[in-house]
Homo-oligomer: A and B are copies of this chain.
Amino acid sequence: MYQLGIVKRNVQRADPAAVEALSRFGVATVHEAMGRVGLMQPYMRPVYGGAHLAGTAVTVLLHPGDNWMMHVAAEQIRPGDVVVAAVTAECTDGFFGDLLATSFRARGALGLVIDAGVRDVKDLTAMQFPVWSKAISAKGTIKATLGSVNVPVVCAGALVNPGDVVLADDDGVVVVPAAIAAATAEAAARREANEADKREKLASGVLGLDMYDMRPALEKAGLKYVD
């Protein structure tokens, strides 16, 4: 699984049409559409609010305190990619800043998801280069140890294969395997189809209890109303 010292060059990206379709939905909707799996842990937070990201994963496996592989990863980026960086042990160092962001963007990257720290957040915000990370830290890193690029990685509790679709917004980060990207987009669309209708009903004062017909099940479960 975790091969070290490997860079895989030819990665089968998810179908661009499926990525585009998924990009219309929020993370919460897509996560529901997948059956509530594939979500990164909630400690992953955007560096600035309001960002939205949908792209295909270039994965990087790093060692604590060492960002050498980020430069190796830059070369593998294609337009529409998102870099997903995992670390072999917990680390909050700042592996990424404005110079790497400049380089990644020049290669076509849409953003970064990293299970570690980043820095230069003022610049990243000014550039509007979206980043989801575990920490913000000015602590720099060395370039001494080989990791890998485009191998499967575990990032913030989620398995990410190179080429998978990565979606991120203010609610978190979700990973959609390339093979089910199109089907997931369709499931998400079905979920949203009647949301507007539901929202309107709820806004008018209709209760979820009635709209979803929950009262019989609650009564059967033994719910008691007292005064």
Which residues of A come within 8 Å of B, CB atoms?
Answer: 1-2, 4-10, 26-28, 31-32, 34-39, 41-42, 45, 50, 61, 63-66, 68, 70-72, 74-75, 88-94, 97-100, 102-103, 105-107, 117, 119-122, 135-140, 142-146, 152, 154, 157-159, 161, 169-172, 174, 177, 195, 198-199, 202-205, 207-209, 212, 214, 218, 221-227
Contacts and interface: CB of A to CB of B under 8 A. Distances in A.
B157 A8 contact: no
A124 to B, nearest CB: 9
Contact of A71 (B70, B120, B159, B212): B212
Given A71-B208, A91-B91, A142-B145, 11 more contacts: A1-B37, A2-B37, A7-B224, A75-B207, A94-B171, A99-B208, A102-B203, A106-B205, A122-B169, A136-B172, A154-B159
Contacts of A224: 5-7
Contacts of A218: 68, 72, 146
Contacts of A97: 28
Contacts of A152: 159
Given A7-B224, A38-B1, A120-B28, A202 B140 contact: no
A212 B161 CA distance: 29
> This chain: how many copies in the complex?
6
A152 B30 CA distance: 21
Contacts of A142: 63, 144-145
A139 B225 contact: no
A96 to B, nearest CB: 11
B140 A6 contact: no
A64 to B, nearest CB: 4
B171 A120 contact: yes
Contact of A209 (B64, B72, B99, B199): B72
